[in-house]
Amino acid sequence: MLRSIDEKGGVGVYTRNIVKELLKLDKKNKYILFYANPTNIGLYKNHDNVQELWIKGSNKAYWDQIAIPRACRKEKIDILFHPKFTVPIFAPCKVVMVVHGADWLIPEQAQFYPRWDVKYMQMALPLYFRKSSVVISVSQETTDNFNRILKLPEGKVQSIYFAPARNFKRITDADTLQTVREKYNLPDNFILTLTKRKGGGRKNLGRVFKAYARYHEQSNNPQKLVIGGKDCHLFRDEYSIPNDGYGKDIIFPDWINQADMPAVFSLASLYLYPSNLEAFPIPLTEAMACGTPILTSNINGLKEIAGDAALLMDPNDTESIANGITQILSDLNLREIHSNKGLERSKLFTWDLCAKKTLETLERAASS
């Protein structure tokens, strides 16, 4: 089920990569790819064991619960895989879904989602789990939360880390770095933060700006802050960021193409990610693969994925964030230590390992 293949966020990144990696790894099984968007037909035409179909549906619920079961019957599907936390309740075959967090079931995390989305997921997720032969979770934190809340049988949920795209690595070529710097008008030295246009609360942007203002005030030669993301320039008005003082050193380059992100990470002095909520924070794995020092939150999936490769702080404490920025940027040796630790830890998050474990899970579920 590939209605999430066009998404720009982490789920879209995961969907595109897991399909590509499974098809590269597995030449034995036949894959039928169900698209909600007909323009995706032909993406995998070079694979002999792939059939691509456009499944029409007026909305997500109809597509998931009516159109897909019909397609499964027609195509005689053995096992259905959905990379995004829903399954067709009446699918005539075994199903496996991927969960990217248990946020809707945890009150302090559910606050970051629309009320009716929370109500729907609280009602639907137990049904999806019951229907699924096995559920793949993107982090141990997510697995533990679902096991605790839904009291699931042992082995129902399998934790499988995914990874940054294979192009994420340290960029040292001077011409490439200069080209990307000029393309996005990046300064010589800067702190990098990435966010979504509507994700300010979850990404803790209010405290990011306050912490940066505090750091800027305390520093004799403050580095600039780059906020990447589509339409993020609108944050200047929404968060009342001044045009002078610390505000003039905040840069909004808008959406940064994935192909350019390794160079952007390699140029950055620090990746700042004090998010309030993440199950599998893929930008942390991207930063680690590029050797970028990281300052992130000491909670949920952020702490799990970062491990000892990042400086951890309390995302609710503005002073803690500001002190962390100052600590890393004022100590070259500390930056080098975290850069090396990140490069080493990034070896835990590979698509080879993810695809292998995912294929084993699907085949085991299909044959059980």
pLDDT of residue 16: 94
Place of tokens 């990140």: 342
Residue 223 CA to its chain's centroid (Å): 26
Query: pLDDT averaged over the chain?
Result: 95
Centre a 10 Å sphere on the Cβ of residue 55 and count the other Cβ atoms it contains: 18
> DSSP labels for 270-282?
EEEE--S--SS-H
Superfamily of 10-163+350-367 according to CATH = Glycogen Phosphorylase B; (3.40.50.2000)
Centre a 10 Å sphere on the Cβ of residue 248 and count the other Cβ atoms it contains: 12
The list of the chain residues with pLDDT below 50 reads none
| Token code pair at residue 345 | 């830890």
pLDDT of residue 55: 98
DSSP letter (8 states) at residue 240: T
Q: For residue 114, which phi and psi values (nearest 5 degrees)?
A: -60, 145
Place of tokens 């192909």: 259
* Nearest-angstrom CA–CA distance, 319 and 326: 11
Q: For residue 320, which phi and psi values (nearest 5 degrees)?
A: -65, -40
In contact, 208 and 272? CB cutoff 8 Å = yes
Query: Which residues partner with 310 through β-bridges?
Result: none
pLDDT of residue 25: 97
174-348 to CATH, choices 3.90.1170.20, 3.40.50.2000, 3.40.50.720, 3.40.50.300:
3.40.50.2000
pLDDT of residue 199: 63
- CB contact burial 13-33 (16+ within 10 A = b; e otherwise): bbbbbbbbbbbeebeeeeebb
Centre a 10 Å sphere on the Cβ of residue 147 and count the other Cβ atoms it contains: 16
The angle, 0 to 180 degrees and rounded to 10, between the axes of the packed helices 115-131 and 140-150 is: 90
Residue 153 makes CB contacts below 8 A (sequence gap 6+) with: none
Any idea how long the chain is?
368
pLDDT of residue 200: 63
pLDDT of residue 202: 79
* Nearest-angstrom CA–CA distance, 161 and 164: 10
* Nearest-angstrom CA–CA distance, 168 and 162: 13
Instruction: Please indicate whether the domains covering 10-163+350-367 and 174-348 agree at the CATH topology level.
Output: yes
- Domain range annotation of the chain: 10-163+350-367, 174-348
